[in-house]
Amino acid sequence: MIENNAQPVLRGRQFLHTPGPTIIPDRILRAMDRPALDHRGPEFLAIARHCFAGLKRIFRTEHPVTMFPAAGHGAWEAALANVLSPGDRMVIAETGAFSTWWKDMAEALGIEVDSIAGDWRHGADIAAIEAHLAEDRTRAIKAVAVVHNETSTGILSDAAGVRAAIDRVGHPALYLVDTISSLASMDFRMDEWSVDVAIGGSQKGLMLPPGMSFTAIGPKALAASKTSRMPRNYFDWAAVLPDGKTPTLPWTPPEPLIFGLVEALAMLEEEGLDACFRRHARLAEATRRAVGGWGFALNALEVSQASNSVTAIRMPDGHDAEAFRAACLARYNLVLAGGIAKLQGTIFRIGHLGDLNEAMILGTLATIETALAATGVPHQSGGINAAIAYLAED
């Protein structure tokens, strides 16, 4: 018997536009769907070696890239616990919620953090970092940490610019970069930018499920890990990089994620990293055109700092971004991300990273415009037309 359901059933694919987890391509889902292997046997070890080599190309580094089965938070903790000791001082640029959580973690580990203040609407304040390091005449500061793409604000920091500032002052601090939401979606160059520790995650540009974190370890950071006195065990780099060169998987690894990673690397290599960055830039620009067309403001006050992996949009005054997001989900099965911490309710975010094309972003932008009209949020019509015009001309 067919009855009317009180709760409408949502059909079709859910449009997942959080900036991680991102849409997992069917190819990756299929690649993960296979029986387990002996993780110490030759077949699996060859797969792991292939992944470690591919990850170096994604981080643009000649240094080893290690893995921990963990959320990005795990790699954050590992980085701090391996290069610093309790009581050490470090600098973290405040860019938004993620940089704040990284700072909180460092403090919980007994590290003294000098936070370089930010307003959550700009990238890391490079001049302030430089001035702060210049004042550190005794060279007490052991590390500088920056979140390359602050997912919570939709703002990209100039990671190469921070390195240049450290060098101008001639400061020996290690340089740690969180590239969790920029890796494989925006330009990141570990070696060219002399980054000492770079941290990535599986669930963003790499198009995999959450659960795996990646750490690229430069020689200065590796040397620091030999003398660090921070208690650690699971997260000890010596366990995943015993000879300092060849990454290993000393525990039982999450094999499906690694099978998926083989496919993700194949997809990125087929496309080419630079082409992948251009695709992200183009879809992000189409999104920004739509935002301008609606008459809305970006959270980024400098358009040049607006992220190509996630766009954060200010909700018109008097309208709640959370209610708007809830309507998008309930009516149209479209998932947008909300504001975090002090930005909750005032912004909504469109994740546009990973396996995405024009049809997908246009579908999303058109659905947002529909939802704005349906929920009575004042806006100019034509945002979608602006996005279409941009994509058609480019």
**In whole angstroms, how close is the CB of 118 to ligand PLP at the nearest point?**
14
Q: Which is nearer to ligand PLP, 177 or 217 (CB)?
A: 177
**In whole angstroms, how close is the CB of 27 to ligand PLP at the nearest point?**
23
Task: Please report whether residue 154 would count as binding ligand PLP according to CB under 6 A.
Answer: no
Q: Which is nearer to ligand PLP, 88 or 178 (CB)?
A: 178
Q: Which is nearer to ligand PLP, 161 or 210 (CB)?
A: 210
Task: Please report whether residue 178 would count as binding ligand PLP according to CB under 6 A.
Answer: yes
Query: Is the Cα dihedral 302, 304, 307, 311 positive or negative?
Result: positive
- Cβ atoms of 167 and 135 within 8 Å: the answer is no
∠ CA 121-354-162 to the nearest 5 degrees? 40
- Binding letters toward ligand PLP, positions 79-118, x by CB under 6 A: -------------------x--------------------
**In whole angstroms, how close is the CB of 201 to ligand PLP at the nearest point?**
5
**In whole angstroms, how close is the CB of 210 to ligand PLP at the nearest point?**
6
Detail the DSSP E strand segments found in 233-272: none
Tokens of 56: 């170096």
Task: Please report whether residue 68 would count as binding ligand PLP according to CB under 6 A.
Answer: no
Q: CB under 8 Å, gap of 24 or more: what pairs does 230-233 form?
A: 230/80, 230/81, 230/82, 230/84, 230/85, 230/86, 230/109, 230/110, 231/81, 232/78, 232/81, 232/82
Task: Please report whether residue 64 would count as binding ligand PLP according to CB under 6 A.
Answer: no
- Kindly identify the residues of this chain, within the stretch 208-237, that bind ligand PLP according to CB under 6 A: 210
Residue that the structure tokens 């889902």 belong to: 29
Q: Which of 181, 225, 305, 311 binds ligand PLP (CB under 6 A)?
A: 181
**In whole angstroms, how close is the CB of 81 to ligand PLP at the nearest point?**
15
Q: Collapse the DSSP code of 38 into the 3-class scheme (helix H, G, I; strand E, B; otherwise coil) and give the result.
A: coil
Q: Which of 23, 51, 146, 147 binds ligand PLP (CB under 6 A)?
A: 147
Q: Which residues are CB-contacts of 3 (< 8 A; sequence separation ≥ 6)?
A: none
Q: Name the β-bridge partners of 147.
A: 178
Task: Please report whether residue 71 would count as binding ligand PLP according to CB under 6 A.
Answer: yes
Q: Collapse the DSSP code of 12 into the 3-class scheme (helix H, G, I; strand E, B; otherwise coil) and give the result.
A: coil
Least Cα distance to 88 among 146, 166, 144, 140 occurs for 140
**In whole angstroms, how close is the CB of 20 to ligand PLP at the nearest point?**
5
**In whole angstroms, how close is the CB of 375 to ligand PLP at the nearest point?**
27
**In whole angstroms, how close is the CB of 202 to ligand PLP at the nearest point?**
8
∠ CA 382-383-384 to the nearest 5 degrees? 90
Tokens of 204: 């963003």
Tell me how far CA of residue 162 lies from CA of 27, 113, 114, 172, 243, in angstroms: 37, 17, 16, 13, 30
Q: Which is nearer to ligand PLP, 201 or 293 (CB)?
A: 201
Q: Indicate left, alpha or beta for 183 from its phi (over 0: left) and psi (-120 to 50: alpha).
A: beta
Phi/psi at 70 (5° precision): -170, 160
**In whole angstroms, how close is the CB of 378 to ligand PLP at the nearest point?**
31
Q: Which is nearer to ligand PLP, 156 or 286 (CB)?
A: 156
Task: Please report whether residue 335 would count as binding ligand PLP according to CB under 6 A.
Answer: no
Task: Please report whether residue 205 would count as binding ligand PLP according to CB under 6 A.
Answer: no
Q: Which is nearer to ligand PLP, 74 or 293 (CB)?
A: 74
- Kindly identify the residues of this chain, within the stretch 19-38, that bind ligand PLP according to CB under 6 A: 20
- In the chain the first and final C-alpha atoms are separated, in Å, by 52
Q: Which of 176, 180, 276, 368 binds ligand PLP (CB under 6 A)?
A: 180
Q: Which is nearer to ligand PLP, 178 or 255 (CB)?
A: 178
**In whole angstroms, how close is the CB of 22 to ligand PLP at the nearest point?**
11
Q: What is the DSSP letter of 176?
A: E
Q: Which is nearer to ligand PLP, 69 or 210 (CB)?
A: 210
Q: Which residues bind ligand PLP (CB under 6 A)?
A: 20, 71-73, 98, 147, 149, 151, 178, 180-181, 201, 210
